[in-house]
Amino acid sequence: MFPSRSNGYNPVEEIDLEDLHADGRRRVSENLATREYDLRQSWLTTLMRAIRAVDYLDESQLPQSSKNAAYYTPLAESVRRRELGRVLRHPEILVPLVLSGVLEAVACLSTVAAPLLLQRVLREPSDPGHLLALFGISLLAAVAGRSKDQICRVLAVRVSSILQLALFRKCLRFSGRATCTEGRLVSCSTTDMMLLRNYILKIHDIWSSPLQLILIVLLVLRLLGLSGLLGYIVMASLLLSQTQANAKVASAMEKYLGYDERRITMLSQAFQRIKGIKLLQLESIITKKIADIRELQLVALTRRLRLVFCFFISVNQMIPGLTALVSFISYWANHQALNAEVIFPALTLFELSHSPASKLSLAVTRQFSILPSVFRVRDILRQEEVYEQSSGRPDDIDIAINLDKATISYPGLATNSDIANEYSAFRLDALTLQIPRGRLTGIYGASGAGKSTLIKGIVGECVAQPPLSVKVYGSCALGRQDPWIMQGTVRDNILLGQPYEELRYRQVLRDCCLEDDLDTFPGSDQALVASNGATLSGGQRARISLARALYSQAEIVLLDDPLSAVDTRVGQSLWNDCIRKLSQTVIVATHQVDLLPQCDNIVVLDKGRIIAQGPPDQVLKHSFFDGSTLLNGPKELSTPIHDQAQSVSPAPNTTNSKAVALGEEVRVRGSVDRALYGVYLRYSGGYPYIAALSAIFCLTVGTRILGNLWLAWWVRDTLNWAQRLYMSGYIGVMLSQAVFVALVGVYLVSGSVQASRHIHEGVLARLFNADMDLFDRQPLGRITNRLSVDIEGIDFRLINAADGLLLAASSLLASTIVLAMSSPYLILAILPIGYITSRIQLLYGVSAREVRRLCSVLDSPVLTVINEAMCARASLQAYSAIELFEERHRAVLSKAMAGISVRYALETWVTVRVELVSVLLLGATCALCGLGVLTTVQAGLTLSLSITLAKHLDTFLWSLINLDVEMNSMERLNQYLMLPAPERYSPSIGREIAPSWPESGSVTFSGVGVTYAQASQPSLHAFDLVVPAGAKVGIVGRSGSGKSTIIAALTGLVPLIAGTIQIDNVDLATVSLRQRRQAVHVLAQDAVLFEGTLRENLDPSQCSNDVDMLGALSAVAWHQLEVQSDGVDRESVLDQQILAGGTNLSAGQAQLVALARAVLVRPRILVLDEATANVDQSTDERIQRTLQQSFRHSTILCVAHRATSVSWMDRVITMADGRKVG
């Protein structure tokens, strides 16, 4: 799009970049802090030269103003508390709002006064006063208008920062009753904030446009009398006709944002569980669900875009011509002559009214469009916050936690009896409980009894009724059953914002058995880990979570099944040398009954009720334990196995751990690849679409040219027609122009929506087919950024840029052709100003493109922090670590807002200089006119035509650059579209496989070698194993010994570097991954469950009937756990609501759902990866019984550390350092 710099100028040779960058940063920071309203923005020239020198902008070059996100935290707190009056009265908001309003009024008055002075200049060209006044008023209009724009840009960034801070502070304080999803928070922080900033940029148009119109109407009345008023009545009618359409625009936008929230929420849930989705072959099902939501979103998008680009724009294009036509008809009907002295001044005024009329129309549209965003932000701010924990002490000093008839339930599920199906509303009923201070309290119960629910109720993650029925006296630390790990170093995760104390820290590492693990990490505790601990084993995640609780020195430590992910030796060490020795109040939820005698206090739960509580010698005599073998405790392996890796992990001798495999976000450098435009056009409809759009565009240009010529023919009576024929012809031309503009909108909308659909589908397909390494190296916020902000860019910003370019191009072409036909020599006069403005615009374009790219990258950390905060809200509240995440959010938000500030400053820089060039041209023309060099006619033509043409040229260049800048979204999405699609995903890559494969289920590993990305040593060395059809094989070994790597290799999660794997004598390298994973069903420790009903989770593909699903539930004895009332229809069990991740189920219940799903599938090969680690012995025995009965003829590979899990296996092998040793 832009000419290359081939004129011999090499900026790199003339600029010391290091000095320039340092100087630029210093000057930028000074200016942003002290002169943010500076209209010149002269400091940007230095930065722009640096960008142009290397076609790149680094984050370190961004200015850091003292008025960053931290500066506006007090205002954000007022917004969170909904003290909006105080915020609006604050000088940081009120002063720029009022000042910009005053400047807008000055600009409006100056804009209307300029044509009047121009008429006086043309009548009396020798009067220097009029010439100076015209130059002065034009300069004043430009300065006031652009000063207003810069102030509004500063205000937009300021308000956006305050609202984003307020929303984030609010989400960190949500109570369990809050219904705001991660998708809504992401959508509000991206799309809604973008809409809000755009609204503030034009906030004064809603009153300044009518003011400008009224002034113009008065001038028209002076010229045409009441005939002119009739034209403006028609204009007002057309504008009012858009009111109902604006309501539809708002409705469509509300639906679009609602579907966007659902889409982002489902995407986030899916990518958080991507490994399980791949193993269970749910990619196509999840993709279809997301695509269905996207299709509904596109329907709303299409409706909005059609209204805006087909109706509003075409009507706005008709307004000046139709207003003029009606006025002229009325004037002529009153028997008054239409001549050049009347028509041309009137047309100038009517043309002048086009801009405020369009602005008014768009301002009203923005008022309606912004309402859904305002309501969404308001709804978040109205969400209930968690009650502040009591800072005092109860009357009884020995009580740490007090529950007084507390009913605890999960958020989003019914808590009252108005829901007939009680399966959907598991709760703890009317609990009365006092936890003694300074004691070790064990909470015991079978799976589904309510242990985890009680812990969540204490920390506020679940809803407690009545309010304040749960009181916690003291600071808390929380160790969840599913440990939360944030993106950062291991040390950051343990400290969680607390000061580093060497002795205490080292003692915690020893107590939590983490020292040996850290020795395997490059950088030890400075090794980076991914969000949610995706690059750590389950045992490592659990022990880091425990270390965090210990280091916090909280008065109350709540641990939910802390030993489930570790083996006997590590578990005994953690219990005896760590947990039991704590002097604080410790609450441990456990299903290991052998730990109960060592507790000071025991609480026994059963079906949501406390059935016993007190010291061990009393509680263990309860009838609940009569006749039970539980007192013997679960039998563990005698093999000294350390904690088991629950996710794919490298061997201990690996020098490059997965813990450091976090890649940086890729940015394109240099000019936009022109092939990218071809990609977008191909998605839009290809050559037929381009041909049709080009034809309609040519017709639009033709009608514009014809409209300009028609007026000249009318005034000169070139065709010797009657006045009514000229009028009829003009009506036809105006209507044709409106129709063709509408058709351009129709084709743009259809092509844009089609491209959006295909791009979204393509990105999803590539992501779901990508290797796991991609997700290990990228934070979820980075992926969310591209699927939210960049998809929004494709949906809205790109079509806006394309439409603006087409309209600007048609105006430029029409004006150029008309000027060439009437006064060709004047084209030469426009060349100097065209050259100057093009140079300014092109210098701006390079910088604007790089700044937009950087802004897109800076959005990713913001969304990553939001994602982590929503996942860790309960933990942060328990640890009182909210301020830590607020500081992280402020830091990344300050950088993101700095990028937007520079982008806005660039817009001020270019508009000021381009407008000053036009004003200087006006001044030069006035000077030549005053000196007598130009005649009045020549001056009038020069001013009216050349300045108009210069404005069209400026608009065209701006639109061209804007399209280039907005292609950034396409660039970023195209990077995902270009992700390598492994041949392994193709339906068949070398041989035809029978639909019944595998028929027997034999598995053979021959010399298998596996090395993880970024690792220097193999995780499997020449591994050989033959598993006959129907055999049951147990796999044991230390952490990192290669157990989970065997499963990863079998299921294709990691590629082989050596050897082969065969199923039924078929080499898996010759079949697709889909076929491979259909042959193997994996039951992992963390069950993959999604928001929906139990039916939808049991049978995602909807291939089974209710009878089969109930049979599968019966096989796993589900009804024994769930039935809480008599007379409930068995089939209604399938309608039980499950929250995302199964958070409203216990670990045992979630595992039973996953097992029932496997029973439905009846796979030939079943793989168990620590599938019973999180369940009590009773549930474990039930699962083992189901496995032995329902999978008698299946081949089973079982990774486990419980003796009961492998005791009935045909064979048990032991792994060490990636080799089979026994």
Instruction: Please check the confidence at residue 10 and state whether its pLDDT lies above 70.
Output: no
Distance CA 768, CA 271 (A): 9
> Is residue 105 included in any domain, yes or no?
no
pLDDT band at 336 (very low <50, low <70, confident <90, very high): low
Which sign does the torsion angle of CA 251, 252, 253, 254 carry?
A: positive
Question: Closest by alpha carbon to 852, among 958, 956, 972?
Answer: 972
CATH number of the structural domain spanning residue 509: 3.40.50.300
Residues 378, 448 within the same domain: no
**Quick one: how many helices (H) and strands (E) in the chain?**
42, 24
Q: Which of 206-210, 293-297, 666-670, 683-687 has the lowest average pLDDT?
A: 666-670
Range of the domain at 292: 205-389
> Is residue 620 included in any domain, yes or no?
yes
> Is residue 4 included in any domain, yes or no?
no
CB neighbours of residue 627 within 10 Å: 6
Instruction: Please check the confidence at residue 279 and state whether its pLDDT lies above 90.
Output: no
Reading phi first (left if > 0) and then psi (alpha if -120 to 50, else beta), residue 338 is in beta
Total number of domains in the chain: 3
Q: Which residue has the higher pLDDT, 19 or 126?
A: 126
Residues whose CB falls within 8 Å of the CB of residue 894, separated by 6 or more in sequence, listed in order: 64, 68, 69, 70
Question: Closest by alpha carbon to 1096, among 1154, 1044, 1066, 1135?
Answer: 1135
Instruction: Give Cα 1040 to chain centroid, integer Å.
Output: 35
Average pLDDT over residues 767-777: 84
Among 331, 364, 389, the domain-final residue is 389
Average pLDDT over residues 291-319: 90
> Is residue 784 included in any domain, yes or no?
no
> Is residue 686 included in any domain, yes or no?
no
Residues 305, 452 within the same domain: no
Give whole-number Cα distances, 1007 to 107, 1057, 1090, in Å. 79, 10, 38
Burial class of residue 828 in the structure, from the number of CB atoms within 10 Å of its CB (0-12 exposed, 13-18 middle, 19+ buried)? exposed
127 is written with which tokens? 């009067």
Q: Are 85 and 75 in contact (CB under 8 A)?
A: no
Residues 217, 299 within the same domain: yes
Among 591, 625, 659, the domain-final residue is 625
Question: Closest by alpha carbon to 1199, among 487, 491, 548, 641?
Answer: 641
Residues 455, 385 within the same domain: no
756 is written with which tokens? 């959006």
Among 598, 625, 652, the domain-final residue is 625
> Is residue 635 included in any domain, yes or no?
no
Q: For the segment 150-172, what is each residue's pLDDT rounded down to a tens digit? A: 999 999 999 999 999 999 999 99
Which residues, listed in sequence order, are joined to residue 408 by a DSSP beta bridge?
428, 464
pLDDT of residue 646: 38
Average pLDDT over residues 835-841: 86
Residues 521, 455 within the same domain: yes
Residue reference for tokens 């007026």? 711
Distance CA 822, CA 761 (A): 52
Q: Are 1018 and 1218 in contact (CB under 8 A)?
A: yes
1110 is written with which tokens? 């109930």
Mean pLDDT of the chain: 81
Instruction: Please check the confidence at residue 303 and state whether its pLDDT lies above 60.
Output: yes
Sheet strand arrangement including 1165-1169: 1080-1084, 1165-1169, 1195-1199, 1032-1037, 1211-1216, 1219-1220
CATH number of the structural domain spanning residue 343: 1.20.1560.10
Residues 382, 527 within the same domain: no
Residues 453, 379 within the same domain: no
Q: Are 952 and 810 in contact (CB under 8 A)?
A: no
Residues 1069, 1200 within the same domain: yes
Question: Closest by alpha carbon to 561, among 620, 682, 629, 479?
Answer: 479
Residues whose CB falls within 8 Å of the CB of residue 47, separated by 6 or more in sequence, listed in order: 24, 28, 61, 847, 902
Average pLDDT over residues 606-614: 88
Q: Are 561 and 481 in contact (CB under 8 A)?
A: yes
> Is residue 601 included in any domain, yes or no?
yes
Residues 1068, 1153 within the same domain: yes
Of 6-10, 291-295, 878-882, where does the model show the most confidence? 291-295
Of 502-516, 1085-1099, 1105-1119, where does the model show the most confidence? 502-516
256 is written with which tokens? 């679009």
Q: Which residue has the higher pLDDT, 266 or 932?
A: 266
CB neighbours of residue 331 within 10 Å: 23
Residues 1055, 1149 within the same domain: yes
Reading phi first (left if > 0) and then psi (alpha if -120 to 50, else beta), residue 1197 is in beta
Residues 344, 223 within the same domain: yes
Residues 446, 299 within the same domain: no
Q: For the segment 846-860, what is each residue's pLDDT rounded down to a tens digit? A: 899 999 999 999 999
CB neighbours of residue 942 within 10 Å: 21
Of 168-177, 559-568, 725-734, where does the model show the most confidence? 168-177
> Is residue 45 included in any domain, yes or no?
no
Q: For the segment 1047-1067, what is each residue's pLDDT rounded down to a tens digit? A: 889 988 888 889 999 999 999
